Amino acid sequence: MDDTPIHQQDNPKGIHKMYGDYFLEYASYVILERAVPHALDGLKPVQRRILHAMDRLDDGRFNKVANIVGDTMKYHPHGDSSIGSALVSLGQKDLLIDMQGNWGNILTGDSAAAARYIEARLSAFAKEVLFSPKVTDWKMSYDGRNKEPVTLPVKFPLLLAQGALGIAVGMSCQIMPHNFNELIDAAIAYLGDKPYTLYPDFLTGGLLDASGYNDGANGSRLRSRALIDTSNKKCLRIREVPFETTTEAIIASIESAVEKGKIKINRIEDNTAAEVDILIYLPPNSDVEKICNALYAFTLCQVSISPKAVVIVDSRPVFIGVSEILKLNVDDTKRHLKAELEVKLAELGESWMQASLEKIFIEKRIYKVLEESDNWEQSLKEIGEKLSPFVVDFLRAVTRDDIIRLTEIRIKKIAKYELHAAEKFISKLEDEIAKTNRNLAQLTRFTIRWFEGLRKRYGAQWPRRTQLTAFDQVTRAQAAVENETLYLDEEGFAGYALKKGDPLGKCSSMSDVLTIDSQGVLMVRRIQEKFYVGKKLLYIGVLRSEDDPVFNLIYRDGKEGACYAKRFKLGGFTREKAYPLTQGTAGSRIFFFSMHDQEEGSAAIAVNVHLKNQLSKLRRPILFDFAKLRIKGRIVRGNTVTKNPVERIARAQIAREEDEPLMLPPLAPSNDAEPLTPDAMALIAPVESAEAPKDVQPGLPGLDC
């Protein structure tokens, strides 16, 4: 015996192959027998066995769920717990099972009572569309003692009506439920070669944005929202909940958001009974729209769904869309209807045959042969000979069994036989045969009439519950309530949890903070309770999604380079990444900086540029107006202001009259078309001298150096 550990053996007797084979067998079993529904009848094996057991037990009355579970165990190899939970889930879909007792509540998440206390029976719809033993394919149960259906002959797109959810090995399935009447309309459209579109419909109602549904295939996206009544400005009322959520889960998510400061409310009440009724009381003067957006962003009032249609086709899982599933179901319905018509035609033909033979046997008094003959075989032969002239055009030849059946007719029936009634019955059978033949010849039209009949009988029970609409994406940053304050202290720290510091403005715990330091490096950070920004800043403030500021900047490129001016917008950015606003040359210096909320020319400012070492006759500064610059990206070099050394720059006051053009010295040639090189994008070196302002405030109007 080899004492070497298995993981160290060169060939541990094929154990790797054995485990690989076992795993594949297990994965196949889970996919085919537990998690993924069949494409044709839309049922998982446990659901199919439950419905088959209920059909066997059906006598029109309710049966205890415990009895149904026990009978199902003759077909299903798992315990009563899995069968019971599957039966409750099937009943809560409100389609195939009539329920009696406490079956739980899909709105609140309450569980059902014990199986011995609740009762169930097949619905009228289930009896009509699920079962047809004469056209069902059967197989032996797992213990070989009973027969069970391979698939039920379902004559309706049941899978799309109920939906399905399952997790298998290496794959998952999530098929959305759809509206009963819309499925019938789509089936009729498909049979008539007309276009159709299907969208989900949920028992819990709510709002649904199906713009990304993509036929329910892999990669689809849905957004489901609660229906919130905002007519009362002091109290919001949730009337319907999103798909696969409950009032209990929604309330818990709202309370969690309140604790984290995402939403401000006074209190919440749950009055849900047969219908959802959650009351959210608001503080005075609350913005209802903002609170609704916060509910959608931070709670389960809005959920995202990723449908993935996986079904079993020919004993293997297949990824397809709901349109393809509908086509498979409708084609299968048509096939089952054809098989049922053929069975019916054969039965009608047999009934006509027996009724016609009986009529001839009695009307022509052929039964007298039995009185005149003592030999049984001879009597049968003579009856056959006497029948032969009248059965030339029959559907089939007369057999010995047919003759024996005639001899078994009682004398009482012969004595009371009414020829007119017999002829009327035969005529009725002939009409039924002709009608059945017409239906077979026009099978598509017959299938359409079948679906129309279902809609007429049952359509009123299942109106659309979910409202289809389109709504904008509400991000958490947009919906965050600005109930915090951004502070900046003397040590260069900022945040909303500082105990000391100057307040810079209102913010939320998810806001972005824009900073520009004295070297002209711009950075956007996600706000924190406390973070370091530096002591020398040109600007710090909260950056909101709707903000689109315009920046004015004059800087010197290097120690002895020219001065450039530019107007730019923030543009796209990555958080925590440094963006130099100069060219990054060592010794560069910022002479002037300002920011405005709008980009109109009137919002731009003018400055006086004072040069160094000027003669007395040239003491007049250069007037520079930012309104003459076009707004560009932040990485451009800018327009040349002057190539002479600059001493300082100060704000200038000039008049802007629409009827009097502003006369300014001509600008130097523009050099702003070249983007910065990768080297220039690096953090710039410290500037040469200029002292940065000590008091920094949000929206700083300008920096004069």
Query: What's the pLDDT score for residue 8?
Result: 55
Q: pLDDT class for 678, splitting at 50, 70, 90?
A: very low
Whether the pLDDT of residue 535 is over 80: the answer is yes
Whether the pLDDT of residue 704 is over 60: the answer is no
- 58-62, 183-187, 397-401, 434-438: least confidently modelled range: 397-401
d(CA 34, CA 570): 55
CA angle, residues 153, 156, 161, in degrees to nearest 5: 125
Strands (E), 508-583: 512-517, 521-526, 531-532, 537-543, 550-556, 563-569, 579-580
Whether the pLDDT of residue 693 is over 90: the answer is no
DSSP state at residue 426: H
pLDDT, the chain, mean: 84
Whether the pLDDT of residue 673 is over 90: the answer is no
- 190-199, 536-545, 596-605: least confidently modelled range: 596-605
Whether the pLDDT of residue 107 is over 90: the answer is yes
Percentage above 90 pLDDT, the chain: 46
CATH top-level class for 483-704?
mainly beta
Active site residues: 117
Whether the pLDDT of residue 697 is over 50: the answer is no
Whether the pLDDT of residue 365 is over 50: the answer is yes
Whether the pLDDT of residue 403 is over 60: the answer is yes
Query: What's the pLDDT score for residue 157?
Result: 96
Greater confidence (78 vs 522) lies with 522
Top mean pLDDT of 41-55, 580-594, 633-647, 664-678 is at: 41-55
Whether the pLDDT of residue 134 is over 80: the answer is yes
**H or E stretch covering 355:** helix 322-363
Query: What's the pLDDT score for residue 659?
Result: 38
pLDDT (mean) for 33-53: 91
Nearest to 272 by CA among 135, 387, 402, 108: 108
Query: What's the pLDDT score for residue 477?
Result: 59
Query: What's the pLDDT score for residue 314?
Result: 86
- 129-138, 547-556, 600-609: least confidently modelled range: 600-609
β-pairing, 563-569 with 631-632?
A: parallel
Helix spans in 165-300 (H): 180-191, 247-259, 288-298
Render 662-682 in DSSP notation, one character per residue.
PP-PPPPPB-TTSBPPTTTTS
Phi, psi angle pair for 111, to nearest 5°: -85, 165
Q: pLDDT class for 55, splitting at 50, 70, 90?
A: very high
Whether the pLDDT of residue 660 is over 50: the answer is no
Query: What's the pLDDT score for residue 603?
Result: 53
Whether the pLDDT of residue 205 is over 50: the answer is yes
Query: What's the pLDDT score for residue 681?
Result: 32
d(CA 154, CA 671): 76
Q: pLDDT class for 480, splitting at 50, 70, 90?
A: low
What are the pLDDT digits (tens) for 571-628?
A: 888 888 889 999 888 888 889 988 887 645 445 688 888 888 755 445 678 888 888 8
Task: Specify the amino acid at residue 564.
Answer: Y
Q: pLDDT class for 34, splitting at 50, 70, 90?
A: confident
What are the pLDDT digits (tens) for 415-443?
A: 888 889 999 999 999 999 999 999 999 99
pLDDT (mean) for 521-534: 88
Q: pLDDT class for 192, splitting at 50, 70, 90?
A: very high
Nearest to 159 by CA among 36, 338, 305, 336: 36
Q: pLDDT class for 668, splitting at 50, 70, 90?
A: very low
What are the pLDDT digits (tens) for 253-312?
A: 999 988 887 888 999 999 998 899 999 999 988 888 888 988 998 899 999 999 999 898
Domain spanning 324-461: CATH 1.10.268.10: yes
Query: What's the pLDDT score for residue 290?
Result: 85
CB-based contact 52:44 (threshold 8 Å): no
Whether the pLDDT of residue 687 is over 50: the answer is no
Domain spanning 17-176: CATH 3.90.199.10: yes
Whether the pLDDT of residue 475 is over 70: the answer is no
**And the tokens for 120?**
């169930």
The CA-atom distances, in angstroms, between 337 and each of 127, 134, 667 are 15, 12, 86
- 101-115, 161-175, 550-564, 609-623: least confidently modelled range: 609-623
Buried b (16+ CB within 10 A) or exposed e, 79-97: eeeebbebbbbbbbebbbb
Nearest to 484 by CA among 260, 162, 314: 260
pLDDT (mean) for 355-370: 88
- 3.30.1360.40, 3.30.160.100, 3.10.20.600, 3.30.70.20: which CATH number matches 222-305? 3.30.1360.40
CB under 8 Å, gap of 24 or more: what pairs does 319-324 form?
319/217, 319/218, 320/39, 320/217, 321/214, 321/215, 321/216, 321/217, 322/160, 322/175, 322/176, 322/178, 322/198, 322/215, 322/216, 322/217, 323/196, 323/198, 323/215
CB-based contact 631:550 (threshold 8 Å): yes
What are the pLDDT digits (tens) for 299-358?
A: 999 999 999 998 988 888 889 999 999 999 999 999 999 999 999 999 999 999 999 999
What are the extents of the domains in the chain? 17-176, 222-305, 324-461, 483-704
Top mean pLDDT of 10-19, 282-291, 465-474 is at: 282-291
d(CA 33, CA 45): 6
Query: What's the pLDDT score for residue 225?
Result: 94
pLDDT (mean) for 461-490: 79
Nearest to 450 by CA among 287, 353, 332: 332
d(CA 670, CA 579): 22
CB-based contact 564:628 (threshold 8 Å): no
CA angle, residues 152, 158, 159, in degrees to nearest 5: 100
Percentage above 70 pLDDT, the chain: 86
- 12-16, 24-28, 128-132: least confidently modelled range: 12-16
Query: What's the pLDDT score for residue 331?
Result: 96
Query: What's the pLDDT score for residue 670?
Result: 35
